[in-house]
Chains A and B, each alone.
Chain A
Amino acid sequence: MAAIGAAAADGRDRRPWWVRREADIERLIARYPKPKSALMGLLWMAQEERGYVADEDVAFIAERLGLSRGYVESTCSFYSLYHRQPVGRYVIVVCGNIVCGLCGGADLIRHLEERLGVRVGETTKDGLFTLLVTNECVAACDGAPALQINEEYFHKVNPQRADRILQALRDGADLAELSETIGLTAPGAVWEAGESA
């Protein structure tokens, strides 16, 4: 886990994230009255850095906050948004709760499985997409059926819109921007939506 070797020839800083981002880490910990509270924030950082939380991240976080690895694992595994295994670059999470489910969500899941060629829970071979379904309502029922990609919203995702989203991401579109456009996140489009379900 030692920090060996700084910037490599290609200009990328290859040091572990916790070395590169020490200042962020310190700031995060300082926000709380007790350092332990920074645990979830550090897990988020690890996940932002490599897409999932690796064993060495658990070890680092435990060490840094003076906790046992078991404690960190116990906390991490409680929350469904942390991944402990590698996932695709885009993690698609379809809302599987009632409103989305009744308003086309079930069809959407089948459509995505078909288009991506994977089952729910799997990652496409090119490593681009992981398809998941959540039991939690994602608080977008007025835009049912809804899904999130890396926690960015997409509403009223009918099969055609789903295809456009996938294509745009394959073409390298910016996820947050895409969410604001195709995703129909602008108010009026979602709340007080005129479109019928």
Chain B
Amino acid sequence: MKYEKVLTKGIGEVDLTRIENYEAQGGYQALRKALKGMTPQEVHGEVKRANLRGRGGAGFPAGVKWGFLPDDGRPRYLCCNADESEPGTFNNRMLIEYNPHLLIEGILLAAYAVRASRSFIYLRGEFRKGFRVLTAAIEQARAKGYLGDKILGSDFSQEIVVHRGAGAYICGEETGLLSSLEGGRGEPRIKPPFPAVAGLYGMPTVVNNVETLCNVPFIIERGADWFLSIGTEKSPGTKIFSVSGMVRRPGNYELPLGIPLRELIEDVAGGLLPGRRLKAVQPGGASSPVLLPEHLDIPLDFDSVQQAGSILGTAGVMVFDDTVCMVRTALYYADFFSHESCGQCTPCREGTAWTARLLRKIERGEGTRDDIEVLKSLRSAMSGTTICLLSDFSITYLQSVLKHFAHEFEAHIEGRACLAGHAREVRSA
């Protein structure tokens, strides 16, 4: 089936980092439309009506979030969350590197709608190319009058500051992001107060994901009704699925929300490698519980995936075939989370490290049944007990594989060779 590309239109065909090319395919029309004929409230209203759900992982409606900002005269800030570090997720990076003006336009519209006094892009430190591209694109936009003082002759002025992170997954968490943007350790903050009330420098702040903001120009240009006509009733619009792992054509694919998992894997991504069998799929990044082959027909929208026992998250879809050892997958994540915990909360700091050590022991064939019981019991100690959700995230996938692939853990414990036939691997982490 052929679907219309929206956010990704032109990528790979024309060089959209050049502002002329972006304009040629209709770029900055939405900004023009808003500044010429819409009030900030109207822009906000349109986004709200479109039910644009956040693409950063939680699926919270952007329009509703913008409405939480108190109207008390304090300066407000808009932060674009471009820290994309969820394992298996790489669509923000593509948008930034190949369609930077779309993001800039989206930020400007959002900033207009929420009356932000300044906007920031919190860019992942690893995105050096993205930094170059965005910086250049901002200068192009400024030269054309899309950015700076009195944009396009309106009363609206805006600056966009690109802030480079420096290697810390937790800075993707919105309050960790704010701590980092203020020049500190990227340590999440206790909520409430939420960023909308007390965010950057204690001021009302909106944090939105790159892909979320990239949708805004289209909603403004084509209207909420158009947006609502794509995807499902509760999850409208397209989504860029980042597909990776054991498929023939890994990559970013923009598709309407609600597309069946089977279609994504078998048609769009070219299916599995020859001779392999599907073992499990993670539909939404590191923390999403496994889906099994029996789930192939579920539609990929926020609610359906949840009903199936997982989460759509960032739509970073990772496909594991029968060559993959599920104990090892859990170990990869455990190493990741124990490295990326900010270290504030006791359960997260200690629990992630303990999890990783136990899994390493099990993976090496030195584990015991007690170790498995301990791992299972950590769920209650590490879920809902910490400042942010990293601790919860670190344990959900593990619990799902402990449940669905108990036999693989058993095999490791009994000292039998790994069922997937992997050699024992000593990683230098």
Residues of A in contact with B (beta carbons under 8 Å apart):
31-34, 36-41, 43-44, 65, 67, 71, 74-75, 78-82, 96-99, 101-103, 106, 109, 119-121, 133-142, 144, 148, 150-153, 176, 179, 185, 187-188, 190-194, 196-197
Contact = CB atoms under 8 A, between A and B. Distances in A.
Contact of A192 (B251, B318, B339): B251
Interface of B: 11-12, 75, 84-90, 92-94, 97-98, 118, 124-129, 132, 159, 161, 163-169, 180-187, 200-201, 242-246, 248-253, 273, 286, 316, 318, 320, 324, 328-329, 332-333, 335-336, 339-340, 342, 425, 427-429
B340 A196 contact: no
Contacts of A192: 12, 249, 251-253
A43 B166 CA distance: 9
Contacts of B87: 97-99, 137, 141
Nearest to A74: B185
Nearest to B170: A78
Contact of A135 (B128, B243, B246, B339): B339
Given A191-B251, A197-B250, A97 B332 contact: yes
Closest 7 CB pairs of A and B: A141-B244, A81-B167, A79-B166, A151-B128, A39-B183, A80-B167, A36-B183
30 contacts: A33-B200, A36-B183, A36-B184, A37-B182, A40-B164, A40-B180, A71-B184, A75-B183, A75-B185, A79-B125, A79-B165, A79-B186, A98-B329, A99-B318, A102-B324, A109-B428, A134-B167, A135-B339, A135-B340, A137-B336, A139-B84, A139-B89, A139-B92, A141-B90, A141-B316, A191-B12, A191-B90, A192-B252, A192-B253, A193-B250
| Most chain B beta carbons < 10 A, residue from A31, A82, A185, A188 | A31
A139 B85 CA distance: 6
A121 B88 CA distance: 25
A79 B168 contact: yes
Contacts of A188: 12
B332 A101 contact: yes
Given A138-B126, A139-B93, 15 more contacts: A37-B163, A44-B164, A44-B166, A81-B125, A81-B126, A99-B245, A99-B318, A102-B324, A137-B86, A139-B84, A139-B85, A141-B245, A176-B132, A187-B98, A192-B249
B257 to A, nearest CB: 19
Nearest to B16: A187
A142 B250 contact: yes
| Most chain A beta carbons < 10 A, residue from B87, B181, B186 | B87
Contact of B425 (A39, A71, A106, A152): A106
A34 B126 contact: no
A141 B128 contact: no
| Most chain A beta carbons < 10 A, residue from B94, B128, B161, B286 | B128
Contacts, number: 187
A13 to B, nearest CB: 24
Contacts of A134: 167
A141 B248 contact: no
Contacts of A101: 332, 427
Contacts of A193: 249-251
Contacts of A31: 159, 161
Contacts of B320: 102
B172 to A, nearest CB: 11
Contacts of A32: 161
A152 B273 CA distance: 29
B289 to A, nearest CB: 15
Contacts of B93: 139-140
A40 B94 CA distance: 24
Given A98-B329, A135-B336, A148-B126, A142 B242 contact: yes
Contacts of A79: 125, 165-168, 186
Nearest to A71: B184
A103 B318 CA distance: 12
Nearest to A36: B183
A67 B429 CA distance: 33
A67 to B, nearest CB: 8
A80 B168 contact: yes
Nearest to A156: B250
Given A33-B118, A141-B318, A96 B427 contact: yes
Contacts of A150: 128
Contact of B85 (A82, A98, A136, A153): A136
A37 B318 contact: no
Given A79-B168, A139-B124, A142-B250, A34 B129 contact: no
Nearest to B159: A31
A118 to B, nearest CB: 12
A141 B242 contact: yes
Contacts of A65: 183
A133 B273 contact: no
A43 B310 CA distance: 40
| Most chain A beta carbons < 10 A, residue from B126, B253, B324, B333 | B126
A38 B181 CA distance: 8
